[in-house]
Amino acid sequence: MGRKKSKPVFENVEVTGAGAKGKSIAKAPDGKVIFLTGAVPGDIVDIQAYKKRKAYYEGKVLAIKSYSDKRTEPKCKHFGVCGGCKWQAMGYEHQLNFKEQEVLNNLQRIGKVDIEEIVPISGSNEQYFYRNKMEFSFSDSRWLSLDEIQSEKEIEDRNALGFHIPGMWDKILDLDECHLQAEPSNTIRLAVREFAVKNNLPFFNTRNQEGLLRTLMLRTSSNGQFMILVQFFRNDKAEIELLMEFLKTEFPEVTSLQYVVNSKGNDTIYDQEVICYHGQDYIEEEMEGLRFKINAKSFYQTNASQAYELYKITRNFAGLTGEELVYDLYTGTGTIAQFVAKNAKKVIGVESVPEAIADAKVNALNNNIDNVEFYVGDMKKVFTSGFVNEHGVPDIVITDPPRDGMHKDVVAQLLAIQAKRIVYVSCNSATQARDLALLDETYKVIKSQAVDMFPQTHHVENVVLLELR
């Protein structure tokens, strides 16, 4: 048997930057890049490399020799174990700077595009408690800390209600606190956990696929409404009713109290029946007088105040005068389409998820908007020359695709129809850059502005305005 290669240790290395997926970056003595967890740019650290690739290492911090001036004290006691807020140890102004740099690097390195105007990043007013939707998982075999494992004591309570440990599908961190969603989120989660333990309601075991309690979803809106949805593994009516009655009594202000019985292998509820136990089966979000119904399965941006900023930037970039035909590709529940409708002659939204389009139509009706139309189907199959011939060549296209960016057939169609302007909203500037490179022969990039929707994380949105050359 061959000897295992020893894993190199690099001492006194300066952390120079922040990279993709929340990693920080340093350089090894041999010139290779090291992708790191647990460090902040400006730290001087000792690094244990645990993976060696042709062009880079992956490593972890063994010791911090000197601390960066970009550091700040993390607010949450679970920081470092929970994978939710990887950048909590970095000051917010530095987070914004690295996010903006990542976007511009991608656009200029991958897309190789010239940008006429870079508008400074739009930071979030709320850096904590900004999320309006959280999903927590139940487990009967919670993640144990090193101290707990090494102690001689027998651990009585192995139940957890919280988040998955990064990279471990069956290990859940039991949360005492979470700084992502405002009250009553923490109070509800802790009350549910305590009640379930006291009443011996079985927490789920993922490996064995047994137990009762699977997940807890909490949704809030900026006008004070909130939704509780409990996902059960089996249809035990007495136990379900026990917990649901407790929630109804304990939180009488709840707008929507719902549950799902899901006995399949995964937690997704999109193919499941949602049962409304008490109240109504939706909550409402409001923006500039527009009201949007959000049900258990609806997609809505999880940072409502920053979503408003994102939509305002999109509308501003579009430069509408009231005379334009606008196509809104990947329209989702039609929020952007309805948001820009009052400034356009007509808006046509296209989306692949039938439930999202059903929501969009209901919301438009409720908002008395009569100059929007919504169509459902796979984008590359719907957005064709026939579709454009039927509905008219758009003056402006707004596109907000998923992380993978636009399908090459969609890009080809955009090149064929040559709308005067395209506003490209993206949650992944790398795939946005790839698409911009394909559009570059016909369109020039006029403006680009990053928008921070998710403080304390590496995620960032970006809006680009393109005009015909």
Residues recognised as catalytic: 427
Please classify residue 289 by burial: count the beta carbons closer than 10 Å to its beta carbon, then call 0-12 exposed, 13-18 middle and 19+ buried: exposed
Please give the single-letter amino acid code of residue 294: I
Give residues with Cβ within 8 angstroms of 259, minimum separation 6: 229, 230, 231, 232, 240, 244, 274, 275, 277
Omega prior to 202 cis, within 30 of 0:
no
Three-class SS of residue 310?
A: helix
Indicate the helix (H) or strand (E) that contains 47: strand 44-52
The token pair at 462 is 């970006």
Instruction: Tell which residue, 399, 429, 405, has the closest CA to residue 417.
Output: 399
Taking each helix axis as running N to C, give the angle between helix 237-250 and helix 185-198, from 0 to 180 degrees, rounded to the nearest 10.
Answer: 140
Question: Tokens for 59?
Answer: 């490593």
Please give the helix or strand (H or E) that residue 213 lies within, else none: strand 213-220
- Written as six digits, the tokens of 296 are 């258990």
Which residue type is seen at 207? R
Gap between the terminal Cα atoms of the chain? 63
E strands, 226-371, in order: 226-232, 256-261, 275-279, 282-287, 290-295, 325-329, 346-351
